[in-house]
Structure 1
Amino acid sequence: MKKFTSMVLAIGLGSALVLAGCSSNNSKVSDGVNKMLDTTEQLSKAIDSGDQEKVKEVGPKLEDQWATFEDDVKKDNKDLYGKIEQYLDPTIAGSEAATLDKEALGTLNDKLTDALKELANKTK
């Protein structure tokens, strides 16, 4: 009986640790997505106003924010990982360009925002 109780407790503890780990990954992804969505919103405002200096300041932040949780997305949501990457790199490059192409960068940023919102809904 004592062995059985010990085994049940060990399984329960192991399950709790596994579930806590999954929750922390979702939390990490959720927090990261929310930060990126805030940044894409700031970028959108800067693009709309034609503030190239602000665009150059805000756009590159996306790369650092993405780096903090992209491995978790790549592992758990390969389709959305590819979709985000498809728009992320050109958005960052466009934000660092010598001249601001408001229309192209705005479109890329909107598509990136849509992909991030899709990921946010999936990780709720």
Structure 2
Amino acid sequence: MKKLTTMVLAFGFGSALVLAGCNSTNSKVSDGVNKMLATTEQLSKAIESGDQAKVKEVGPKLEDQWSSFEEDVKKDNKDLYEKIEKYLDPTIAGSEASTLDKDAIGTLNDQLTDALKELDKKTK
């Protein structure tokens, strides 16, 4: 009986550690997504106002934010990882362009925002 109790306790403790680790990953992804969504909102406002200096300042921040948790997304949500990558790189490139193409970068930013919101829903 003592062996059974020890096994059950060990299994319960191991399960708790695994679940805590999963929650940590989801928390990291959720925090990263929220930061990126705040940045895409700032970028959207800068695009709408035609503030090219602000677009150039805000757009590149997306890459640093994404790099902090992208491996977790790639591992757990490959389809959404690819969808985000599809819109992220051109959005950043458009923000760094010498002339602002408001329509193109606005559309890309909106598509990136939608993909991030989809990921946010999946990680909750």
Counterpart in the other structure of 1:18: 18
Residues 1-124 of structure 1 aligned to structure 2 (within 5 Å):
1-124=1-124
Q: Deviations over 1:76-99 (max 9, x none)?
A: 111100000000000000000111
Any runs of at least 4 consecutive aligned residues in structure 1 with deviations exceeding 6 A, and if so which?
Answer: none
Shift of 1:117: 0.5
Q: TM-score, normalised by structure 2?
A: 0.98
Gap regions ≥5 residues in structure 1:
none
Alpha-carbon offset, residue 6 of structure 1: 1.2
The offset of 1:2, in angstroms, is 1.7
State the shift of 1:5 in Å: 1.3
| Aligned residue pair count | 124
Unpaired runs of 5+ in structure 2?
Answer: none
Distance (Å, rounded) in 2 between the aligned partners of 1:68 and 1:102: 28
TM-score of the superposed pair, with normalisation by structure 1 = 0.98
SS in 2 for 1:99: coil
How much does 1:7 deviate? 1.0
Letter in 2 for 1:96: E
